[in-house]
Amino acid sequence: MGAHAADDHHHELPFDQWPEDAWTGKASMGKIGMWVFLLSDALTFAGFLLAYGILRGGSDQWVMPGEPVEFGINFTAGLTFLLICSSVTMVMAYAACVEDNRKSATKWLFATAIGGVLFLCGQMQEYFGAFEFLFHHKGLIADGLIFGNSHRASTFYLITSFHGFHVFSGTVYLFIMAFRTAMGKYDGGNYNHIEICGLFWHFVDLIWILVFTFIYLIPA
């Protein structure tokens, strides 16, 4: 018996066969778990953003001499658009999975993951000017925004890199899910894990919407 790992799976009750819960309805255990994690994660971000707000509100001089006055709103708006695009490709992957269309779900998941890769490349450009030949900008560090030199620089890098770390994790997560979908693990409309992955990815987009406003758009 034990030699057939695939067989052992059939002894577990599939997620859609659990009795409906009075409070959480059809939501699977994994989905509720992801929501609990996302709430704790949201409060971590909130802690950073509130610290940023307190420092900024209480400072006499926010922009230090030698620092760039703004962070390049148009470029970052492009990154925002990128995350919005990868959110819509994620729901398309979910829809394809529900409809038991393996090829389409795989395609959309890879598209979503590539959105994540492009976002990370954008952040490399923003910090270090990694794609200077394309954007003709040496990056914020070269412009004089150095972590540790001012409250503004430190909170900026802390919050945006913490978000970037989420994009990185999400991209790895998405590539894994895309490969597993291609392998047929989520055939037969088995959407549960795709939905959970989607929750994480949309949350990364949701947080970026707030970071974009509080860090980039509100003028000094």
Footprint of another protein (CB under 8 A): 4, 6-7, 10, 14-17, 23-27, 32, 35, 39, 42-43, 46-47, 49-50, 53-54, 57-58, 73-74, 77, 80-81, 84-85, 87-88, 90-92, 94-95, 98-100, 179-180, 182-185, 187-192, 195, 198-199, 202-203, 205-206, 209-210, 212-214, 217-219
| Smallest gap from residue 18 Cβ to another protein (A) | 11
Q: Which is nearer to another protein, 128 or 173 (CB)?
A: 173
Instruction: Between 5 and 148, name the residue whose CB sits nearer to another protein.
Output: 5
Decide: helix, strand or coil at residue 21.
strand
Instruction: CB nearer to another protein: give 140 or 204.
Output: 204
- Which of 49/146 has CB closer to another protein? 49
CB of 104 to another protein, least distance (A): 11
Q: How far is the CB of 120 from another protein (least distance, A)?
A: 20
* Least distance (Å) between residue 133 CB and another protein: 25
Bridge partners, residue 25, by sequence: 21
Q: Do residues 164 and 123 lie in contact, with contact meaning Cβ atoms separated by under 8 Å? A: yes
Pair 107, 119: CB distance under 8 Å: no
Residue 40 or 133 with smaller CB distance to another protein: 40
Instruction: Return the structure tokens found at 32.
Output: 């509720």
Q: Environment class of residue 186 by beta-carbon count within 10 Å: exposed (0-12), middle (13-18) or buried (19+)?
A: buried
Please give the backbone phi and psi of residue 25, each rounded to the nearest 5 degrees, phi first. Answer: 60, -130
Task: Work out how close the CB of 146 gets to another protein at its nearest, in angstroms, rounded to a whole number.
Answer: 25
Alpha-carbon gap, residue 163 to 203, rounded angstroms: 11
DSSP per-residue letters across 69-108:
SS--HHHHHHHHHHHHHHHHHHHHHHHHHHTT-HHHHHHH
